[in-house]
Amino acid sequence: MTTTSSYAIEARGLVKEFRGARGTVRAVDGLDLVVRPGEVVAFLGPNGAGKTTTVDLVLGLAAPTAGTVRVLGKEPARAIADGQVAAVMQTGGLLRDITVGESVELTAALFGRTSPAGPFLERAGIADLADRTVGRCSGGQQQRLRFAMALVSEPDLLLLDEPTAGMDVRGRRDFWTAIRHDAEAGRTVVFATHYLQEAESYADRVVLISQGRLVADGTVAEVRALAGSGSLEDVFLDLTAEPAADPSARTTAEGGTR
């Protein structure tokens, strides 16, 4: 793995708006964020906070309305084309009628490689499933297959969206053991999760967003201190609580308030 910048992710004044029949929704609102190479960062926030939109911007799947995002010193699309970034999403990306091993080999072929599947399946903890068709795998096994496929390009940056969804307790522990091993080798990992215990146990740093804005950023201990609480769950609830509605405010045709 070779990094080309002092930052794995650098977002400055990042804004993303969506326009619809009911007005404009600002999903990401002036976000400033840097992630350094080798960090394991938990990306937390309630549903609708802007986590997924931010991940889409980092992956080049959406263009910002304003601001900039650089990945390993490059435009997101360039970093991905160079094989430096990989993602493990909650759904999609799998062909149900081929085997687990064939899925990894096909991914390697897309990168112009002939890498055997075995080492990647081993790292993902599913080497014994190489000959099983994807459609016969459980949700947790399929998620670990996505992880194995993401490793094929040996990316510098790995983005994970609810990576342990569908896994049992042992599966989650084994998965995070593999992630920490990769991070120790220098890979940067950013993961969105609803399991706050995962953030406490495995993240070097916690980034908490609410309504598209960064509301906390630091180690678990530092984030806890912001709310004077020993519980990350309490901090999460305190810092992401929506303000009480102002009965005098009403939505304009442009989606703002007055």
CATH number, domain of 55, equals 3.40.50.300
User: How does the average pLDDT of the chain come out, rounded?
Assistant: 85
Q: Where are the alpha helices (DSSP H) in 2-126?
A: 51-58, 76-81, 100-110, 118-124
Would 15 be classed as within a structural domain?
yes
The structure's pTM equals 0.82
CB half-sphere exposure, 143, CA atoms < 13 A: 20
Which pair of structure tokens corresponds to residue 23?
């007005």
Domain count, the chain: 1
Q: What pLDDT, in 10s, does the model give residues 228-256?
A: 766 788 788 887 876 554 444 333 333 44
Determine the pLDDT at residue 139.
86
Q: Which domain holds residue 192?
A: 9-84+155-239
In this structure, is residue 124 part of a structural domain? no
150: how many CB neighbours lie within 10 A of its CB?
Answer: 23
Q: Output 51 or 92, whichever has higher pLDDT.
A: 51
Residue 101 lies in a domain: no
Cα within 13 Å of Cα(132), Cβ side: 13
- Decide if 31 contacts 11 (C-beta within 8 A): yes
- 91, pLDDT greater than 60: yes
CA distance 212 to 50: 5
- C-alpha 202/C-alpha 198 separation (Å) is 6
Beta-carbon contacts of residue 22 (< 8 Å; ≥ 6 apart): 251, 255
In a domain, 251, yes or no: no
Q: Judge whether 140 and 168 are in contact, CB under 8 Å.
A: yes
Per-residue model confidence as pLDDT tens digits over 174-228:
888 888 887 888 899 999 888 888 888 889 999 999 999 999 999 988 888 876 7
57 with 13: CB under 8 angstroms? no
